[in-house]
Amino acid sequence: MEGSQMGDEYPGGIPANPFFLPDEEALHRSEVIKRLAFDHLFPKTSLIHTYPFARSIVPIELVKKGDEQVLVHSRGIAVDRQPSSINLLADYPSVVSVVADRPISLTVPLPQLQELLVTSFTTVDQEALANLPGLISLNIGMGFGTRIVDLEELEAPGWQPEKLDLRILQRMTALRDLRFDTLAVSSLEPLRDLKGLERLRVTGYSPLKT
């Protein structure tokens, strides 16, 4: 998409994060729905190429029967520290993919979910992943290495997300695609036991042992 076209789509200027929804912007269900896939994120290091999807994925708040993918928008920093529940998707079995730009929580099984694409610097808690046994594609920790953190935010209690223990993924026998940043996980060692992976990309640098 050319810069001028992007400017037309975002009259207030191109946002730093395509999946961030300003408080003054109302939720909107696009007439033309597009689906973001793992393939769009796997080879990339930034979200610049995802702008065409920014307002074309169904917000989870506006999900309807038959939808296949929903988006959990990010909002303000203070709000985004609190996980957003996706439990309601248990009533929408057609939804097989979730794009999340903020922490999510899940306390009920969603065996139909095949794809979880976390597009922010956050990770996913253990309980949520334990309730996603059917995952085929998982993207977490995107943007960890490139995010600019304000010093005041850095000193604020609780800003650091909990690191993911990759051992939880060993229960996911269908998992084939995995992309994550090293800063999003507690150890790389469990990768040795993920024998079913067909595509793996690890970004960032970490002294963690493999």
The more confidently predicted of residues 127 and 48 is 127
Average pLDDT value for the chain? 80
Average pLDDT of span 47-63: 88
Distance CA 147, CA 59 (A): 24
Q: Is the pLDDT of residue 40 over 70?
A: yes
Q: Is the pLDDT of residue 8 over 50?
A: no
Q: Is the pLDDT of residue 7 over 60?
A: no
Average pLDDT of span 51-55: 85
Q: By the 8 A CB rule, do 125 and 147 touch?
A: no
Average pLDDT of span 161-184: 87
pLDDT of residue 88: 98
Q: How confident is the model at residue 162 (pLDDT cuts 50, 70, 90)?
A: low
Q: By the 8 A CB rule, do 169 and 116 touch?
A: no
pLDDT of residue 149: 39
Q: All domains of the chain, ordered by start, with CATH?
A: 3-203 (3.80.10)
Q: Is the pLDDT of residue 79 over 70?
A: no
Q: Is the pLDDT of residue 150 over 50?
A: no
Q: Is the pLDDT of residue 26 over 50?
A: yes
Alpha carbon of residue 187 to chain centroid: 20
The DSSP string of 11-62 is TT---SSTTB--TTSPP---SS-----HHHHTT-SSSGGGGGGTTTSEEGGG
The more confidently predicted of residues 48 and 126 is 126
Average pLDDT of span 54-72: 95
Report the share of the chain in percent with pLDDT over 70.
76
